[in-house]
A and B are shown apart, each in its own frame.
Chain A
Amino acid sequence: AQKVTQAQTEISVVEKEDVTLDCVYETRDTTYYLFWYKQPPSGELVFLIRRNSFDEQNEISGRYSWNFQKSTSSFNFTITASQVVDSAVYFCALSGRNTGGFKTIFGAGTRLFVKA
């Protein structure tokens, strides 16, 4: 089965705290792609990062970092020193041959509240 699970429905933190959003996936593919998208209050989903299954290097972009571990089928997202502007819904997503066609499978999202 092809599936993305984001077990955390909502997370609330205080500004400047670090926060990790969990993402666990299931796939039969050996080649697949993982994504994170951010949905701010304005509504549109904004692409944050893509990771290929054959590249397990972690990535850091400013206050954002991603930890990809094939052994645990996880692709977690950490925000360091969170800010109010980070408040949004974050979606983890998966694409591969077995998701069918060129569709992307999304998790249910994690809503992050960052309080000042």
Chain B
Amino acid sequence: EAGVTQFPSHSVIEKGQTVTLRCDPISGHDNLYWYRRVMGKEIKFLLHFVKESKQDESGMPNNRFLAERTGGTYSTLKVQPAELEDSGVYFCASSQERTRNSPLHFGNGTRLTVT
């Protein structure tokens, strides 16, 4: 079984540019999450999809961030325009069950650097 895959693994962009991150969850996992870790701090929740619907987007920092999951398969997270404080590692995770005791299956993350 293929795990959660994220692309790209690294991205370096200039302030003001646009970047799109992609996540392919484990096949059959309806629940997809985006998290972010900024420089040695906590991993923070961004949003949660159930299939193609946004279940919870309370962690999205501002309207420069747009997440989509068309067709309920892969998801994209677009940052437009990027700011310096957006730098960090963006993790995608998926789970089969929508329960609070479900372990998350994570991808390797995308390291975003905004200069």
Q: How large is the interface on A (under 10, 10 to 19, 20 to 34, 35 or more residues)?
A: 20 to 34
- CB–CB A44/B104 < 8 A: no
Q: How far is the CA of A103 from the CA of B99 in the complex (A)?
A: 10
Instruction: Determine how close the nearest CB of chain B comes to the CB of A50; give it in whole angstroms.
Output: 6
**Complex Cα distance A105/B107, Å?**
17
Give the dominant DSSP class at B's interface: loop
The distance in angstroms between the C-alpha atoms of A109 and B35, with both chains bound, is: 14
Are B103 and A35 interface neighbours, CB within 8 A? yes
Question: Once the chains bind, are B42 and A107 in contact (CB under 8 Å)?
Answer: yes
Q: A102-B100, A103-B48, A103-B56 are in contact. Are A44 and B42 (CB under 8 A)?
A: no
Question: In the complex, what residue of chain A is closest to B40 when comparing beta carbons?
Answer: A108
**Set B3, B45, B107: member contacting A104, Cβ < 8 A:** B45
Chain B residues proximal to chain A, CB less than 8 Å: 3-4, 9, 31, 33, 35, 40-45, 48, 55-56, 58-59, 89, 91, 93, 98-109
A-B contact pairs, 16 of them (CB 8 A): A33-B100, A37-B106, A43-B9, A43-B108, A44-B106, A45-B91, A45-B93, A45-B104, A93-B43, A97-B100, A102-B31, A102-B55, A103-B58, A105-B42, A109-B40, A109-B43
